[in-house]
Amino acid sequence: MEIRHGIPVSPGIVIAEALVLDSEKLRIPQRFVEKGLIESEIGRFKQAVDDSNRTLDTEIARLGEEIEIHARILGVHQDLASDPVLHSEVEQAIRDNSYTAEHALSKVMNRYVRKLQDLKSPILSERVHDLQDVEKLLLSTLLGKRIEGLSNLKDEVVVIAHNLTPAQTAKLDPEMVKGFATDVGGKTSHTAIMGRALGIPAVVGLEDIATAVVGGDLIVIDGYRGVVVIDPDEGQIAEYSARARKMQSLAKRLKSQAKLPAETIDGHRIEVHANIELPSEVKSAVECGASGIGLYRTEFIHLQAPTAGEEVHFENYRSVIESLGGLPLTVRTLDLGGDKLPEGGLEEENPFLGCRSIRWCLANPKPFRAQIRAILRAGLLGPVRLMLPMITSISELDRSLQIIDEVSDELRAEGVEFDENIPIGVMVEVPSLALIASHVAGRVSFLSVGTNDLVQYTLAVDRGNEHVADLYDPMHPAVLHLILQLVRTGQEHSVRVSLCGEMASESIYLPLLVGMGLREISVSPQLIPEVKQVIRSLVDYEVRELSARCLQMSDGEQITRELHHWAVDHFPEVVDRF
């Protein structure tokens, strides 16, 4: 028996046998062929591409629209496998060197990977993974071998790996893959986000779990506390089984109460909205009791179709608005750059401090203007708000507002109807904007606190880096005082202030946030029932007193302890999970 501690990224408890993914390359038994077999070898390569694409077609069809983003990742792999430049180079390597198809493919792919790695760009790391995934699929097809893993599983397992690429995570069938644990990763890594979307318990940042576990080992994954138990004894199995049943019962009960209002005992209403990335997520958000969409991330539209214009955006917004049935929608304009590299994007040493988000939009006005046109038109279909991300200065905000005005003038001149009074707001994600919020409030209709980035930029901590995960502290007094200042600024200027991000998803933080005066939050859809239940257990004057005490403290750990003790006294059933 061995206990490992990592970063909890997707809640739940599971006990199952381990499937350890093999990260080594497939072995190529033969590297050369006779001259007379060259055309036959090229034919083998083309057949392998066709067979691999059929395999990907099957996977994409199985995933369906409910996990549409994962299917799109596999679509990227189809594009890579079908790339005519790749085919030309592999065929040339076979003809010039008498290589086998396997060896030629491996040589060409290795050259591509080295070129990307030499750029030393963290935002291209997923492209390396994509190339390696495609190589492994094509090699396994050529060699007639089945890749260990994630499709056609016959028994329930937990997946153990050094890392899971987006494509691998996309293949996780929640019916058979009951959880996963990886050596690397952070709370906001792509793998973590996809794990939560699939509802699979997960722990990441375990450093060497992939070498500590042998396939077939019995594993406990506790996605609440970030614990992985290797070969648990009978007592631990009984303990975790009981906790799992208790948590499942709690989740079922919370879901049954999801449509009840999020209102404190003494009558203070809190609007609980959902964060979504795809139109298909709206149904789940509404079923979980969301009072609207507080953050619609629109980057996937551009990333999947870089030439997507106004109509593509408009149809996506129409779909979401129709599914909401009159509930409000907040559309965030393109937040590209950083770890979401657009086609033709800059290669930057420090992309999170570079040309990302509104900076990218101002530098690339054509797609930005097309999106604004679509949002303004969509405003006639239902209650829609337009939100600008990562504004850092008044001049940046004014330039953005000027473009919105120009686009409005264009629509009027064309006789196109649009929402003339659409509410426009900003995401407050950097300290510079938080500190001048009083100047911002006179220019916008609302402020939305993006806590993931606000914590990152305030504390100078990479939020996706497991090596500094212990320094990423949403309860740091500096962060809390910035949020308090924003809330007070909103009250003084009669501007609504909302909050989205991981902070709003942590139950023990909710009393503090409500006590600070926040009346609108936005979280992942599946977390809404729990968030609303916690809010219904609060009394406003009590949490205001709690907030005042915490804001006098000088250390984030001290604040967290105070909030945990308070939560144990007021909603112990929820806190017991952690």
Cα separation, 4 vs 299, whole angstroms: 36
Helix or strand or coil: residue 158? strand
Cα separation, 167 vs 171, whole angstroms: 7
Determine how many CB atoms are found less than 10 A away from the CB of residue 451. 25
Based on the domain organization, do 247 and 372 belong to the same domain?
no
Alpha helix segments (H runs only) across 144-178: 166-170
> Which of these is catalytic: 288, 355, 361, 500?
500
Asked, for residue 489, whether it belongs to a domain, the answer is no
Q: What is the pLDDT of residue 223?
A: 92
Based on the domain organization, do 401 and 364 belong to the same domain?
yes
Distance, C-alpha 48 to centroid of its chain: 33
Based on the domain organization, do 193 and 168 belong to the same domain?
yes
Based on the domain organization, do 53 and 189 belong to the same domain?
no
Q: Which residues pair with 68 in a beta bridge?
A: none
Asked, for residue 30, whether it belongs to a domain, the answer is no
Characterize the bridge pairing of strands 520-523 and 271-276. Answer: parallel
Cα separation, 276 vs 286, whole angstroms: 11
Report long-range pairs for 563-571 (Cβ below 8 Å, ≥24 apart). 563/475, 563/508, 563/509, 563/511, 563/512, 564/508, 566/508, 566/511, 567/507, 567/508, 567/511, 570/511, 570/537, 570/538, 571/507, 571/533, 571/534, 571/537
The residue whose two tokens read 């989205």 is 500
Contact call for residues 448 and 391 (beta carbons, < 8 A): no
Instruction: List CB contacts of 133: < 8 A, sequence separation 6 or more.
Output: 77, 165, 167, 168
Smallest CA-to-CA distance from 559 within 497, 505, 516 is with 516
Helix or strand or coil: residue 364? coil
Helix or strand or coil: residue 540? helix
Asked, for residue 276, whether it belongs to a domain, the answer is yes
Asked, for residue 404, whether it belongs to a domain, the answer is yes
> Could you please report the per-residue DSSP string of 252-304?
HHHHHTTTS--B-TTS-B-EEEEEESSGGGHHHHHHTT-SSEEEEE-HHHHHH
Based on the domain organization, do 232 and 277 belong to the same domain?
no
Based on the domain organization, do 234 and 274 belong to the same domain?
no
Burial class (CB in 10 A: 0-12, 13-18, 19+), 528: buried
Residue 171 is part of which domain span?
2-22+150-251
- Can 190 be counted among the known catalytic residues? yes
Characterize the bridge pairing of strands 177-182 and 202-204. Answer: parallel
Asked, for residue 563, whether it belongs to a domain, the answer is no
Q: What is the pLDDT of residue 150?
A: 64
- Stretches where the chain sits below pLDDT 50 are 23-24, 343-344
Contact call for residues 157 and 17 (beta carbons, < 8 A): yes
Characterize the bridge pairing of strands 202-204 and 218-222. Answer: unpaired
> Which of these is catalytic: 103, 129, 190, 273?
190
The residue whose two tokens read 């006179």 is 442
Based on the domain organization, do 291 and 415 belong to the same domain?
yes
Instruction: List CB contacts of 89: < 8 A, sequence separation 6 or more.
Output: 108
Contact call for residues 341 and 404 (beta carbons, < 8 A): no
Distance, C-alpha 69 to centroid of its chain: 11
Q: Which CATH number does the domain housing residue 303 bear?
A: 3.20.20.60
Q: What is the pLDDT of residue 111?
A: 85
Based on the domain organization, do 16 and 117 belong to the same domain?
no
Q: What is the pLDDT of residue 346?
A: 53
Based on the domain organization, do 104 and 199 belong to the same domain?
no
Based on the domain organization, do 156 and 285 belong to the same domain?
no
Answer with the one of 251, 283, 302 that is the final residue of a domain: 251
- Can 467 be counted among the known catalytic residues? no
Cα separation, 158 vs 51, whole angstroms: 28
Q: At what angle do helices 310-324 and 365-378 cross, to 10 degrees?
A: 30
Report residue 325 as tokens: 């049935």
Q: Which CATH number does the domain housing residue 157 bear?
A: 3.50.30.10
Characterize the bridge pairing of strands 13-20 and 7-10. Answer: unpaired
Burial class (CB in 10 A: 0-12, 13-18, 19+), 256: exposed
Q: Which residues pair with 337 in a beta bridge?
A: 340
Q: What amino acid is encoded at 207 in this protein?
A: E
Asked, for residue 198, whether it belongs to a domain, the answer is yes
Instruction: List CB contacts of 383: < 8 A, sequence separation 6 or more.
Output: 292, 326, 327, 328, 329
Where does 389-463 show beta strands of DSSP type E? 424-428, 446-450
Answer with the one of 234, 251, 268 that is the final residue of a domain: 251
Based on the domain organization, do 179 and 277 belong to the same domain?
no
Cα separation, 285 vs 527, whole angstroms: 10
Cα separation, 96 vs 272, whole angstroms: 63
Asked, for residue 488, whether it belongs to a domain, the answer is no
Q: Which CATH number does the domain housing residue 89 bear?
A: 1.10.274.10
Q: State the virtual CA torsion across 270, 186, 192, 568 in degrees, nearest 10.
A: -40
Contact call for residues 293 and 324 (beta carbons, < 8 A): yes
Contact call for residues 369 and 411 (beta carbons, < 8 A): no
Q: What is the pLDDT of residue 25?
A: 52
Q: What is the pLDDT of residue 24?
A: 47
Report the predicted TM-score, pTM, of the whole model to 2 decimal places: 0.72
Cα separation, 197 vs 193, whole angstroms: 6
Based on the domain organization, do 308 and 383 belong to the same domain?
yes
> Could you please report the per-residue DSSP string of 549-569?
HHTT-S-HHHHHHHHHHHHHH
Answer with the one of 251, 277, 297 that is the final residue of a domain: 251
Number of domains making up the chain: 3
How far lies 257's CA from each of 253, 282, 288, 532, in Å?
A: 7, 18, 9, 9
